[in-house]
């Protein structure tokens, strides 16, 4: 595969997810009576839809930067914090696992099952910082560390 084909192929999953996120993201702004105050990170429920979407962005970032043949997806969000700072900044501790989906074949992680073959299983612990500005439809991931 040529480098242009490879880079455009790796970019495709991120674009598919980004388009989906942009359509839904505007509904995830905390209500005005929320306990979240500008400038202060606060714990947030790991099942929160905004947290899950932010974690997925972190996973897409990991998938686009890794050399693995298979896609990874989040298996568990261990801890989540959010801070209002010109948007929503999510600070996430996430476990991700290798799926059965090869990078070259899939756009949607939702249909990917986790790897069941022992020799292909892999789990990583990640820390992602995901900064989302829903009104401009932008997502920035300044920190993505997995090991």
Segments making up each domain of the chain, as ranges? 3-25+37-146
Q: Is the pLDDT of residue 124 over 60?
A: yes
Judged by average pLDDT, the poorest of 17-21, 29-33, 64-68, 120-124 is 17-21
pLDDT digits (tens, 9 = 90+) for 50-98: 999 999 999 999 999 999 999 999 999 999 999 999 999 999 999 999 9
Alpha carbon distance 70, 118 (integer Å): 14
What CATH code is assigned to 3-25+37-146? 3.10.450.10
- Residues 40/83, Cβ–Cβ less than 8 Å: yes
The mean pLDDT value for 104-111 works out to: 86
pTM recorded for the entire structure = 0.75
User: What values do phi and psi take at 108, rounded to 5?
Assistant: -105, 120
Q: Which two tokens stand for residue 94?
A: 């996430």
Q: Is the pLDDT of residue 20 over 90?
A: no
Bridge partners for 140 per DSSP: 131
Q: Is the pLDDT of residue 42 over 80?
A: yes
Residue 109 is predicted with a pLDDT of: 94
Residue 79 is predicted with a pLDDT of: 99
The mean pLDDT value for 28-38 works out to: 56
Q: Is the pLDDT of residue 35 over 70?
A: no
Residue 65 is predicted with a pLDDT of: 96
The mean pLDDT value for 34-63 works out to: 91
Question: At 106, is the pLDDT very low, low, confident or very high (cuts 50, 70, 90)?
Answer: confident
């Amino acid at each position: 595969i040529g480098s242009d084909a490879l880079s455009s192929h790796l970019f495709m999953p991120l674009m598919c997810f980004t388009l989906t996120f942009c359509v839904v993201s505007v509904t995830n702004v905390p209500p005005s009576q929320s306990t979240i105050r500008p400038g202060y990170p606060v714990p947030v429920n790991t099942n929160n839809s905004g947290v899950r979407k932010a974690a997925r962005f972190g996973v897409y970032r990991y998938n686009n930067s890794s050399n693995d043949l298979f896609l990874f997806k989040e298996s568990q969000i261990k801890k989540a914090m959010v801070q209002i700072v010109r948007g929503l900044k999510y600070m996430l501790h996430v476990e991700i696992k290798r799926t059965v989906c090869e990078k070259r074949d899939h756009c949607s992680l939702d249909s990917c099952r986790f790897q069941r073959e022992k020799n292909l299983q892999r789990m990583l612990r990640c820390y992602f910082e995901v900064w989302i500005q829903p009104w401009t439809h932008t997502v920035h991931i300044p920190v993505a560390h997995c090991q």
